[in-house]
Structure 1
Amino acid sequence: MCTLTLAWHVFEDAPVVVAANRDELVDRPSEPPARRDWERPVVAPRDSEAGGTWIGYNDAGVLVAITNRWIETDMESDRSRGLLVRDALNHESAEDAVRFVERELDERSYDGFNLVVADANAALLVEWDGHRRVSNFDPGVHVVVNVGADGNYTIPGHRPDVGEQQAVNADSVLTALQPEPGEESREWLDRAATVIADHEYGVCVHGDGFGTRSSSLIHLGTEERTFEFADGPPCETPFEPVDAHV
């Protein structure tokens, strides 16, 4: 499971604010966020196994983040989804990044995913389960998990109980993170950090060999961009500022 919360054009001072948990095998190696001079400057963690990433932003203020998507059947993939995120981060705008992803899906095969791309001008969701669906997010708070986004879920038949529970958890997070009157972006992000670490909401996961490996707080403001990272389950790992700028 993975959980991504996005507040897009909710706050005047920050068009893109994100709190996200990454769930992964505990023995899959990774590197914490840092400035990475890929095709353009990026701040992102790195998957040491495949070389890609699961979340990050670039010097143009484009955020790209991915969750796995649970689907009914196994798909034959020839490339890591994290490399798709890395490549999407090379683009000047969210719209350009999504157009790239659409072309890429015509040429290569990937396992199922939900991909969020956002900047100050657009926020989009690309869903891939063998069929491609692209939709625009309206201004507001959004929650993306493995079974879908914002109440639009597809529960796989081979894991109905856990899929239904994930949908319930996502709805609970979405309800809890609706902006409060007068709330500012930093206040919302602090509250989001608490919610995604609280086991009451079920999105901080502890399993046998699998669980929430890290958590990211990203604030792409009009004056400043920041990344805070918990290099472990957020219920027991403090968020630390990432000393990297683009």
Structure 2
Amino acid sequence: MCLIALSWRTHARYPLLIAANRDEFHARPADPAAHWQDTPQVYGGRDRLQGGGWLAVSRRGRLAAITNVRRMLPPNPRTLSRGRLVADFVRGDGSAQEFCEALMPHAHEYGGFNLLLWDGACLRFATNQGETGESREVDPGIHVLSNATLDTPWPKSERLRTAMQQASGHDTPDIEALFTALADTAIAPDAALPDTGLELERERWLSSPFIRGPEYGTRASTVVLVAQDRLRFVERLFGPNGRANGDSDQVLPLAAD
């Protein structure tokens, strides 16, 4: 994923709400959200190259979502796929804290990542940014995550934060309003752009919540609503230049098995 907004313990019926866009090269093969054949209790999209994921849930009450970190470094072919972290967590049974404690000593072996983990009770954030990385419990509230660290106020993150605040203020969260915010293609003013080392035109292009391009862009918009006994996973897919490419809406009962 490259943009996530979440509501954590702010809604009476849904302790966790997620709205997210996955940005990726269109040529990279991936499966749409579905039950994983090798782990049927897991549901989500899946990367065909490495077998990992970007946003996945488990009927056992687990969720993992990840974004990359925008840093102007040449790719290192020896780094491990960050999508494996999503797959490993949702297929496991340890707590989010236990997973992070085991991960952090070798977090630098993965591509730059920001990771959100929910184990049914706790929501945790982990990143390998900086010399030692960071792992901490997420406080209740509305949070945003893009390609910097948690709650960095990039323009597209703040626009999605506002949408999440409004959508989560209803007795039944306004899913369509979240998808409208995820589909926003408005470019941020130059004065508000982050300085991540990219040339200005590319920084502008990447500043909108929804990125449209022939080779790279937003490939999936997803909204997840987690209730006490079930969750709803709604996905809309896109091809080159933002062309609609299918959608799905799945309700999964949560169980302890």
TM over 0.5: yes
What root-mean-square deviation, in Å, do the aligned CA atoms of Structure 1 and Structure 2 show? 2.7
CA contact (8 A) 2:2 2:67 kept: yes
Q: 1:180 to 1:226 in 2, by over 3 A?
A: closer
Query: Could you list the runs of 5+ residues in structure 2 that have no partner in the other structure?
Result: 188-207
Match of 1:213 among 203, 219, 237: 219
1:116: how far off? 0.8
- Alignment of structure 1 residues 177-216 onto 2, 5 Å: 177-179=164-166, 183-187=170-174, 189-200=175-186, 202-216=208-222
CA contact (8 A) 2:7 2:16 kept: yes
Aligned residue number for residue 103 of structure 2: 101
Q: 1:50 to 1:11 in 2, by over 3 A?
A: same
Alignment of 1:25-174 (within 5 A): 25-36=25-36, 38=38, 41-74=41-74, 76=76, 77-92=78-93, 93-102=95-104, 104-105=106-107, 109-129=109-129, 131-151=132-152, 167-174=154-161
Q: Offset at 1:94?
A: 2.6
Contact 1:9 1:16 in 2 (8 A): yes
Normalising by the residue count of structure 2, what TM-score does the alignment of the two structures yield? 0.78
The aligned counterpart of 1:176 is: 163
Deviation at 1:232, TM superposition (A): 1.2
Q: Decide whether the 8 Å contact of 2:11 with 2:169 is kept in 1.
A: no
Q: Aligned in 2, Cα 1:56/1:174: closer, same or farther, shift over 3 Å?
A: same
Question: SS at 2:87's partner residue?
Answer: helix
Distance 1:132 1:75 in 2: 19
Equivalents in 2 of 1:68, 1:26: separation in Å? 16
Identify if the C-alpha distance between structure 1 residues 19 and 236 changes in structure 2 by more than 3 Å, giving closer, same or farther: farther
d(CA) in 2 for partners of 1:136, 1:32? 30
The one-letter amino acid of 1:141's match is I
Q: Distance in 2 between matches of 1:141 and 1:196?
A: 16
1:54–1:66 CA contact under 8 A, matched in 2: yes
Q: Which residue matches 2:2?
A: 2
Say whether the 8 Å CA contact 2:114–2:128 is kept in structure 1. yes
| TM-score under structure 1 length normalisation | 0.81
Query: What's the CA shift string for 1:141-171, capped at 9, x where partnerless?
Result: 111001222136xxxxxxxxxxxxxx12212
SS at match of 1:190: helix
The CA distance in 2 between the partners of 1:127 and 1:207, in whole Å, is 28
Identity value in percent: 27
Question: In structure 1, what is the Cα distance between the partners aligned to 2:10 and 2:126?
Answer: 21
- Counterparts in 2 of 1:103 and 1:39: CA distance versus 1, 3 Å: farther
What CA distance in whole angstroms lies between the structure 1 residues aligned with 2:220 and 2:110?
23
Size of the aligned set, in residue pairs, is 229
Q: Is 1:88–1:101's contact at 8 Å kept on the other side of the alignment?
A: no
Q: Is the 8 A contact 2:96 2:117 kept in 1?
A: yes
Report the 3-state secondary structure (helix = DSSP H, G, I; strand = E; otherwise coil) of the residue aligned with 1:150: coil
Q: 1:115 to 1:185 in 2, by over 3 A?
A: farther
Query: Does the Cα contact within 8 Å between 2:230 and 2:253 map onto a contact in 1?
Result: no
* Partner-residue secondary structure (3-state), 1:46: strand
Structure 1 residue matching 2:10: 3-state secondary structure: strand
- Check 1:223–1:149 CA distance in 2 against 1; reply closer, same or farther (3 A cut): same
**Residues 60 and 97 of structure 1, relative CA distance in 2, 3 Å threshold:** farther
Aligned-partner Cα distance in 1 for 2:124–2:62:
11
Q: Secondary structure at the match of 2:84?
A: helix
